[in-house]
Amino acid sequence: MNLFEAIAAGLDEAREHRGRTILSLIGLTLGTASIVSTLALFGGSSQRTQDFLNEVGGAATVIVRNEWTGRVQLSPREAASPRLTFRDAEDLRDEAPSLRYISAARNWELLYEGPRHQFIGEVVGTLPAYMAINSIAPRRGRYLTELDIRERASVVVLGSSFADSLFGSTDLAIGRDLTIGGERFTVVGVLEPEYFSFAAWEGNAFEYRNLRAYIPLSTALKRFASDDQIGWLTLEALTPAAIVQAEKEVETVLLRRHRVRDFNFDRQSTDVQEGQRFMNLFNAIFLIVGIVSLFTGGIVITNILLSSVVERIREIGVRLALGASAFDIFAHFLVQSLVITALGGLAGTLLGTLLTTTVQAVMQLPAHVTPPIFLAGIGTATFVGLVAGLFPALRAARLDPVEALHYG
Amino acid sequence: MTPALITVEQVRKTYSLGRTTVEALRGVDLRISGGEFVAITGPSGSGKSTLMHIIGCLDSPTSGAYWLDGQEVSRLRGTALARTRNRKVGFVFQNFNLLPRLDIVENVALPLRYRGGIRRRERHARAEAVLARLGLGERLRHKPDELSGGERQRVAIARSLVNDPAILLADEPTGNLDSKTSAEIMRVLRELHAAGHTLVIVTHDANVAAEAQRRIHIRDGRVANGEP
């Protein structure tokens, strides 16, 4: 008895007991649909997280901040530490070979005065590498250069929202002057507006980047500070794998200068993973629902197959008398189970695809039923069929020919 | 004397029903030669059904030896026994035992399917040939419930012949048929005997038994007429 005939027999069986087959497959179909859509949504959201990480500098980025102990009384060593300074950034450039980009920044809240508006907003004093690390780009004009840093130039690169509110539009802003904190700056560039959203109902995760301006760190320290302390260092390792080595190098340099561990490392990836956790919980619930449906679906299939075996004991007896081996009978019932569950799996996968497409359209969530997910859906259902069919098939195969032949 | 096709030596069969054990066969000896037409008779509970099951390789004796066509069947179990049953024995049952969902060609081809290694087309060709021989060549695509009792039994006989077995084993083959149809089926069986087939019929119908060359009477788990 070849496989093709066994499959045909399984399909016949399913057709003959259409109502029963559909009933037995409901649980399995819903379970498969649930798992397929969960996998698709999960895949979509983790792709989104990866995109976000790349936007903010990728998994190779690490931010170094001053550590605030919160204590009023500092130890003598802590009090003596220069904290993070512009010089730290310059030393790292020479002494941390695992770093590709080194940027330092310090921010202030200052009064902006333009021809159209004035308001208090964020200004960031930083270095040219900041652009590369955060993959920001000027829409018009240019970004800060090494020359700006060296000459302590009075130039500013505006975030797109600031350019709009201060001057009316990006084009009107280029080459014009404005005052920040009472100091005059010339606009040399306006950045691309940045937009990123994890889901439709969440706002622009990057809007803060449109609401700030960048000036050379050297200029900023000279005009707005009496020291050369900086707020944070943004570093990018050569590769994500090199990040541990890079942190070690940075630690060595900083410890030598500070003589105390008054800084900490903040990897970008850990932040985003926090956010991903909620999504994962959501997915886990769906997945559990799917698995429970599959489980109960499997039990229903086992029961229905068992009743099918009992109904056909005489027939099994006849088949045995004609020379069917126990294995033939076993295979007959197992294939029958596999055929109907594969059908259910296919139906469930299609339903899951439909569900995913709907969710994607309605909630603007990124999700795709990829071929591996499609196969996983059908595969899972077929696996349930294998497990569900095992007991009934075994029971059929272990019937005694004489008893089966004279049953009922 | 021609070498025996069937040799049964001191075969015993005991069943345990809870605490009591039932001795269905208490040492049966018999020999059947190739080409013989034998009737096994006996009242119900005599053990003749059990003997038929052992001869038909559906069951194994508790002790004793059974040889069929040169093979010691009493040693076989499971798949090996199934294979011997498939190749050497053709069953004809009282209630036909055709599978209702298969058409008659598929029913007749079923033993070939379990034999394995024969293509579907070939199996159906052989089944159709046997059906034609039994006068059913016109009704190949019919389902069993579209046939009369006599026709169904002829389909069953075709099925028992399709694998060219060593013996035909018929269990009350006319038990569910009227006298006219019974006569027709007995004629078919006589013709098969004439064509060289070895026939063993289990019956308690004296008329049917009278058709056989030899009658073996079983009583209380033993051969009663004492001619092995």
Within 89-118 of A, beta carbons closer than 8 Å to B belong to none
Q: Last residue of a domain, which of A235, A261, A287?
A: A261
Domain span at A105:
68-261
Helices and strands, number each (H, E), in chain B = 7, 10
Predicted pLDDT of residue A289 = 83
B214 strand-pairing partners:
B38
Residue pair B93/A404 in contact by the 8 Å Cβ criterion: no
Determine, for residues B58 and A321 on separate chains, whether the beta-carbon distance falls below 8 Å: yes
With an 8 Å Cβ cutoff, is A9 touching chain B?
no
For residues A205 and A278, state if they share a domain. no
For residues A195 and A324, state if they share a domain. no
Residue pair B6/B30 in contact by the 8 Å Cβ criterion: yes
Report residue A404 as tokens: 């089966």
Mean pLDDT of A300-320: 92
Report residue A347 CA to chain centroid gap: 28
Q: Among candidates B23, B25, B11, B24, which has minimal Cα distance to B67?
A: B11
Residues contacting residue A111 through CB under 8 Å, at least 6 positions apart: A118, A119, A120, A179, A180, A181, A182
Determine, for residues B58 and A326 on separate chains, whether the beta-carbon distance falls below 8 Å: no
Report residue B42: phi and psi, to 5°: 155, 155
Position B178 pLDDT exceeds 70: yes
Residues contacting residue A369 through CB under 8 Å, at least 6 positions apart: A36, A37, A40, A349, A352, A353, A356
Residue B228 belongs to a domain: no
Residue B38 belongs to a domain: yes
- Please state the domain count of chain A: 2
Predicted pLDDT of residue B185 = 94
Position A108 pLDDT exceeds 90: yes
Residue B51 belongs to a domain: yes
For residues A178 and A227, state if they share a domain. yes
For residues A350 and A216, state if they share a domain. no
What is the distance between the alpha carbons of residues A400 and A389, in angstroms, rounded to a whole number?
Answer: 20
The enclosing domain of B172 has a CATH number of 3.40.50.300
Predicted pLDDT of residue B1 = 47
Position B198 pLDDT exceeds 90: yes
Q: Last residue of a domain, which of A261, A283, A316?
A: A261
Residue B219 belongs to a domain: yes
pLDDT tens-digit series, residues B127-175: 999 999 999 988 889 999 999 999 999 999 999 999 999 999 999 999 9
Residue A58 belongs to a domain: no
For residues A48 and A129, state if they share a domain. no
- Closest-CA distance, A278 to chain B, in angstroms, reads 55
For residues A150 and A177, state if they share a domain. yes
For residues A87 and A226, state if they share a domain. yes
- A32-36, A244-248, A268-272, B176-180: range with lowest mean pLDDT: A268-272
Predicted pLDDT of residue B168 = 96
For residues A43 and A72, state if they share a domain. no
Domain span at B173:
4-99+156-223
Residue B124 belongs to a domain: no
What is the distance between the alpha carbons of residues B58 and A111, in angstroms, rounded to a whole number?
Answer: 100
- Please state the domain count of chain B: 1
For residues A38 and A170, state if they share a domain. no
Helices and strands, number each (H, E), in chain A = 16, 10
Report residue A98 as tokens: 């695992």
For residues A151 and A256, state if they share a domain. yes
Within chain B, strands assigned E span 4-17, 20-33, 37-41, 63-68, 71-72, 89-92, 167-171, 198-202, 214-219, 222-223
pLDDT tens-digit series, residues B1-50: 456 899 999 999 998 888 888 899 999 999 999 999 999 999 888 999 99
Q: Last residue of a domain, which of A232, A261, A290?
A: A261
Chain A to chain B, count of Cβ pairs less than 8 Å apart? 64
Residue B201 belongs to a domain: yes
Determine, for residues A402 and B116 on separate chains, whether the beta-carbon distance falls below 8 Å: no
